[in-house]
Structure 1
Amino acid sequence: MHSDEETAMQYRTVPKTGDRLSVLGFGAMRLPMKGRAIDEERATALIRAATVGGINYIDTAVPYHMGTSEAFVGRALAGKYREQVKVATKLPPWTTHSRADMDATLAAQCSRLKTHSIDYYLLHSLNRENWDKLLTLGVMNFLDEAEKSGRIKNAGFSFHGDPETFQEIVDARDWVFCQIQYNILDEEHQAGTRGLRYAAKNDLAVMVMEPLRGGMLANTVPPAAQACYDAAPVQRSPATHALRWVMNHPDVTVVLSGMSDEAQLIENLQTAREARPESLTPDEETMMRMARDAWRRAMQIPCTGCGYCMPCPYGVNIPECFNLWNNHSLREQKRGAKTEYAIRLGGGLGDSPGNAGLCRDCGRCKVRCPQQIPIPSALREMQHMYEGPFWGAKKVFISYAAGIATRILAHRAHQGRDK
């Protein structure tokens, strides 16, 4: 027999506001699809079932589902459901070119979400470059004014940069929360454990994205890692093991999962009801470390994301290059890998490129790598695999497509503002 406490949704407290948020959040980025569009009927049923199951934090953003996620969430939560949840969305730096753009974007988001106020509002996907850009454009004044007017209730940011930039951003404002990528493979990547602890030390709620590394930790398990799970005294799926590991951290407030079907929702709800902070036994912690090490051995490059190789004098984002390569090497489905590489590292969205082809074989990184990775030769192999003879054309095409998307989103923002 389980007690009511063990079978009910677990809620954790936002330190600065006292909000009680479900440890499992619903990420509206991987909704059920019908063709190339959101399957409205099934996705609506899924998101409402999540609220019935105790989930009260829904995360969306402008680019999710090609710009349709926010409007869908607004429709799905119409009526009583909106009162039961906290909605989070984000300001996209790549479509923000002025202080006025920030107000226009927020107005359009409120319109799409059918709300007068965004509960949790994030600056989206911050790194060094995006942070500096938004600061220059006056984002601090925007957040102050939006909070004062009630258009947003809690300000935060999501992050995909280095630990030093993360700490700088945390220190820059009295943020309520942040959102970081965190899982058994990313303890030392991006913000990592260091960032998680720093945020908690400063009383920020921490929302975790990619607890399953985009589904990789659930769907493409190396045999050696599966053997670790099989030897555990309690049999659980790889997804459950990975989620429990994140939820075991008391500094984590919400773990976001982009659930795309009913089975995933049911399994994740059960995990959220059972997992408690610091509840993993010593044997379970050892098992997860062994599984993590098995994952790393199976990866193409034994990079931990420590960043000792950085900065590269020629601009290569070495940890992110190897992170993408490892992710792609473990996927059964390789489709879209080169496009993702061009978007993330080729400067296709207007940011500075960090692709492998920028390497000039100076060797500076190689002598600094604690894993003794032959970095220059690995980067040359990546360049051969990902860039090829049509690299320039692919970057131009992505930049052109991003420009069109920017204009469409700007047009929608003005439409939403004028209504």
Structure 2
Amino acid sequence: MLYRKNPKNGKELSILGYGCLRFTKKGGVIDQKKAEEEMKAAIENGVNYFDTAYTYHGSEVCLGKFLAKGYRDKVNIATKLPHYYIKTIEDMEKCFEEQLQRLQTDHIEYYLMHMLNDAATWKRLTDLGMEAWIAGKKAEGKIENIGFSFHGATEQFIKIIDAYDWDFCQIQFNYMDEHSQAGLRGLQYAAGKGLPVIIMEPLRGGRLVQGLPESAKRVFEKTTPKRSPAEWGLRWVWNHPEVTVILSGMNEIEQVEENVRIASEAKADSLSKEELDVFEQVKQEINKKIKVPCTGCAYCMPCPQGVDIPGCFSAYNMRYTDGWYAGFKTYFMCTTLRKNQTNASKCVGCGKCEQHCPQSIPIRQKLKEVRQHMEGPVYHVGRFVAKHTRKD
């Protein structure tokens, strides 16, 4: 197992982290025995970072039961506060104490604001007293590092980074999201601030493995050295020296073994130009399915109405490259689950964006398509539920 140092405190973290969202379930509940066998194999092979969340049903309890069997001092626990449920300091306290109980521990090494997608939401939390609450928990030794996970556009990510003295952050990053979400620019910005960066969705939830078009699979198959699409994808992320840990939701022993093997070999800046060219070929094959030729350059931004134009187009394209659910989930998280929504239907057709687009995309027309295809009945039901659930 290779390790990279947390630049904030010098501690070594395994470059492979265990994502605890996708434990195998049996009869609707986590298969504890199977999950423990997989987690044990990971720890025995050097994995020391385990990521869960309050809202991952049963995950914190499963992890806590396992770690209580003598493994607690071998790992760093990362879990997340569902700030969207939080209305008062008392809510924070109640949730945090419940998490400690679930995890059977008295402290959390890496604690995150879950899906903190815009600076306005962080402002709401600071107005509630979040900064003082965090300081108190750190002073008590109950929280070692504070961070946030993020789904949104680069500009908002940078604003959040600059809004507080964070200890780490977590972003989605893979070869298809190089210029969407926080993207390469966000990754480099956070690392430039001295933050360890944790990567989620390095394979887009497996869609860059099972969901690849046959033409893209053939590109990998004919390339030497012979590697699976999963190995190619993971190596691409680890090739970036700014990356600290990659999370993988492993739910088979074979996945643990394969990922551990790769994580014992994959070093930063190790891919050759020829290998990097392979990813460009694969992306070309995937992009043949896209609906909008947006490169994510963001020259069209800012929109006077607050529309996240590149984010809307990225999710819309994902609908056709990764499937309806993946596109819808990304669209909803990145435009709607935030204090100031940025969805396509906010467009009033002013046309300012089109004056700056180097791709000459008819942005107004394409945003109408996004609204038509992404904001159907399911979207409106979800938006209604979110509006009445969030504590804004």
Q: Please, what TM-score do these two structures have when normalized by structure 1?
A: 0.85
Is the 8 Å Cα contact of residues 152 and 311 (structure 2) preserved in structure 1? no
Find out whether 1:366 has 2:354 as its counterpart.
yes
Match of 2:243, SS state, is coil
For 1:50, the aligned partner's letter is: A
Once the two structures are TM-superposed, the CA of residue 223 in structure 1 deviates from its matched residue by 3.6
Counterpart in the other structure of 1:29: 21
Task: Note if 1:145 corresponds to 2:136.
Answer: yes
Q: Give the Å deviation of 1:112.
A: 0.9
Q: How does 1:295-374 map to 2 (within 5 A)?
A: 295-331=286-322, 334=324, 340=329, 343-344=332-333, 347=336, 351-374=339-362
Runs (5+) with no aligned partner, structure 2: none
* Pick aligned residue for 1:208 from 192, 199, 206: 199
Q: Secondary structure at the match of 1:156?
A: strand
Correspondence 1:378-393 to 2 at 5 A = 378-388=366-376, 392-393=380-381
Q: Does the aligned pair in 2 maintain the 1:48–1:77 contact within 8 Å?
A: no
Amino acid paired to 1:104: K
Once the two structures are superposed, the pairs formed by residues 17-416 of structure 1 within 5 Å of their partners are 17-65=9-57, 68-126=58-116, 127-331=118-322, 334=324, 340=329, 343-344=332-333, 347=336, 351-388=339-376, 392-393=380-381, 395-397=383-385, 399=387, 402=389
TM-score, length-scaled by structure 2:
0.91
Partners of 2:290 and 2:317 within 8 A in 1: yes
Secondary structure in 2 aligned to 1:277?
coil
Measured after TM superposition, the shift of residue 61 of structure 1 is 0.9
Instruction: Give 1:324's aligned amino acid.
Output: A
Instruction: Please name the residue that 2:3 is paired with.
Output: 11
CA distance in 1, matches of 2:173, 2:53: 19
Amino acid at match of 1:351: K
Do the aligned residues in 1 keep the contact of 2:149 with 2:171 (CA within 8 Å)?
yes
Deviations 1:245-294 (A, max 9, x none): 11111121101111222232222111111111111122112222332333
Identify if the C-alpha distance between structure 1 residues 217 and 164 changes in structure 2 by more than 3 Å, giving closer, same or farther.
same
3-state DSSP of counterpart to 1:298: coil
The whole-number CA distance in structure 1 between the counterparts of 2:7 and 2:367 is 43
- Hey, what's the Cα distance between the residues in 1 that align with 2:274 and 2:8? 35
Correspondence for 1:410 = none
Letter in 2 for 1:124: H
After superposing on structure 2, the runs of 4+ consecutive aligned residues of structure 1 that deviate more than 4 Å are 335-338, 389-394, 397-400
Q: Secondary structure at the match of 2:372?
A: helix
- How far apart, CA to CA, are the structure 2 residues paired with 1:99 and 1:269? 40
User: AA paired with 2:21?
Assistant: M
Query: Which deviations, in whole Å up to 9, do the C-alpha atoms of 1:106-133 show, x marking residues without a partner?
Result: 2111111110000111122222232222
- TM-aligned CA distance change 1:172 to 1:26, over 3 Å: same
Paired position in structure 2 for 1:413? none
Change (3 A) 1:95 1:80: same
Letter of the 2:191 counterpart: A
Change in Cα spacing, 1:388 to 1:61, as seen in structure 2 (3 Å) is closer
CA deviations 1:334-376 (Å, max 9, x no partner) are 45865x37843674x5734333233222222223223332222
Partner of 1:4: none
Change in 2 beyond 3 A, CA 1:23/1:373: same
Q: Quote the Cα distance in structure 2 between the aligned partners of 1:301 and 1:163.
A: 19
**Secondary structure at 2:350 match in 1:** coil
Equivalent position amino acid for 2:143 in 1:
I
Identity fraction in percent: 42
Deviations 1:33-88, CA, capped at 9 Å, x for gaps? 224322222122222221112111000111123xx221221112222111111000
Distance 1:390 1:274 in 2: 44
User: Structure 2 CA distance, aligned partners of 1:393 and 1:152?
Assistant: 36
Cα separation, 1, equivalents of 2:377 and 2:48:
48
Q: Distance in 2 between matches of 1:199 and 1:394?
A: 32
Letter in 1 for 2:289: A
Instruction: Provide the C-alpha distance between the structure 2 equivalents of 1:204 and 1:394, rounded to a whole number of angstroms.
Output: 34
- Confirm or deny: 8 A CA contact 2:308 2:335 kept in the other structure: no
Give 1:394 shift.
5.0
Larger deviation, residues 226-235 vs 11-20: 226-235
| Alignment coverage as a number of residue pairs | 390
1:344 and 1:14 map into 2 onto residues whose CA distance is 28
State the AA in 1 paired with 2:38: L
Q: 1-side partners of 2:382 and 2:114: how far apart? A: 25
Asked if the contact 1:301–1:326 (Cα under 8 Å) also holds between the matched residues in 2, the reply is: yes
Cα distance in 2, alignment partners of residues 228 and 64 from structure 1: 36
